[in-house]
Amino acid sequence: MRSYALLVHPSANRVYADASVSLTVAELGVLASTRLEGRLGEASPTRIAGVPYLAFDGDLTAADLILIGDVSTAMALFERGGEMLRPVELSRRDRFDDDLLTILKYPGKTNEVFTKLLLNVTVWSGREREAPLRILDPMCGRGTTLNQVLMNGWHAAGVDVDDRDFDTYAAFLRKWLKDKRLKHSVEINPLRREGARLGRRFHAEVGATKEEWKAGRALNVDVANTDTVHTRAVHQAASFDAVVTDAPYGVQHGSRSGGRLARSPLDLLREAVPVWAEVLRPGGAMGIAWNVRVAARDEALGILAGAGLEPLDAGPYRALEHRVDHAIQRDVLVARKPRPTPV
């Protein structure tokens, strides 16, 4: 076992105030209980020469270090030897420039650091599969999750009922791909099922490199502008490795108003979770961030269990709650879709 010290990115303090360290402890805890089971010890805050770090022991391979590099707040890693700190390279998975994640700013945006945490804990909780994964954000807003999924080099799909969110994201991605001179194709088409018009659909194919584009290894971004309860009409059953979403908080943001958005967050989850569970692969996981001021954790977990999923509700999974503002106390629910038992 080696001893490590992880430097948490100082910008995370702006996002979470005092919670960045405890959330990173919980995020590492999920990693230790999933992908790195038995190889990563419990993390605890420490100070070295007056600077805060997270200390943990581990028996980590090069592949494990890529996962440590994925941790949403990870800035730098050191191996400890007596008084000395030896820098350990954290290879990053990032396939694109990071302004993909930061350019768009708008009221109601889920911050990028939290989005990465939510994606991480959800993906790690599911069965490991060969990349590129396919990830769905069924209430994707202006695409913060979709952009992080692309950054990881995976296929991204989203659904959102809000026309303005759909238009803004489509315009943003089109312009960003052009500005970056990346090989791509983009189209927007009406979305119909059985003769009825459900909304619109945006589809982009993106080459992270010219070679991948030429070799037909483009990444897909697919966004449907429709009510999330129609997700099954857009996507096949068992077609996603993870479903990840930041649910409406039950408070108004600038661009979200009235109409179909007026459904209570809990009613929306009751209707939508069974549909999302259908498009999830057996062994895949669902991660939902939501405001505990609109529904208690147990009530929300009950909805996941009612849809046939297995809630993960022990240890680090119970340590992800944090304050966003006076009206929003956010928590994270994670559940796994069971694999059929062999006969």
Positions touching ligand SAM (CB under 6 A) are 108-110, 139-142, 144-145, 159-162, 165, 227-228, 246, 248-249, 256, 260-261, 268
Residues 6+ positions from 157 with CB-CB distance below 8 Å: 134, 135, 136, 137, 146, 220, 221, 222, 223, 224, 235, 240
C-alpha angle 203/209/214, rounded to 5°? 75
Which residue lies nearer to ligand SAM by CB, 67 or 331? 331
Smallest separation, CB 244 to ligand SAM (Å): 9
Smallest separation, CB 74 to ligand SAM (Å): 21
Q: How many helices (H) and strands (E) does the chain have?
A: 11, 15
Smallest separation, CB 299 to ligand SAM (Å): 18
Smallest separation, CB 141 to ligand SAM (Å): 2
Residues 6+ positions from 82 with CB-CB distance below 8 Å: none
Residue 84 vs residues 54, 61, 69, 323: alpha-carbon distances, Å? 15, 21, 21, 36
Give the nearest residue (CB) to ligand SAM: 141
**Interatomic CA distance for residues 176 and 170, integer angstroms:** 10
Which residue lies nearer to ligand SAM by CB, 253 or 297? 253
What is the SS3 assignment for 141?
coil
Which residue lies nearer to ligand SAM by CB, 160 or 241? 160
Q: For 129, left (φ over 0), alpha (ψ -120 to 50), or beta?
A: beta
Which residue lies nearer to ligand SAM by CB, 244 or 312? 244
H helix runs in 40-162, sequence order: 62-70, 99-102, 112-125, 144-151
Smallest separation, CB 277 to ligand SAM (Å): 16
Which residue lies nearer to ligand SAM by CB, 12 or 218? 12
Which residue lies nearer to ligand SAM by CB, 70 or 137? 137
| Nearest partner of 235 among 193, 269, 172, 206, judged by Cα | 193
Do you find a cis peptide bond into 132, omega within 30 degrees of 0? yes
Smallest separation, CB 198 to ligand SAM (Å): 11
Which residue lies nearer to ligand SAM by CB, 68 or 165? 165
For β-strands 2-8 and 51-58, DSSP reports them as antiparallel
Query: How far is C-alpha 238 from the chain's CA centre?
Result: 18
Smallest separation, CB 138 to ligand SAM (Å): 7
Specify whether the CB–CB gap between 88 and 65 falls below 8 A. yes
Smallest separation, CB 336 to ligand SAM (Å): 22
Neighbours of 267 (CB within 10 A): 10
Which residue lies nearer to ligand SAM by CB, 36 or 161? 161
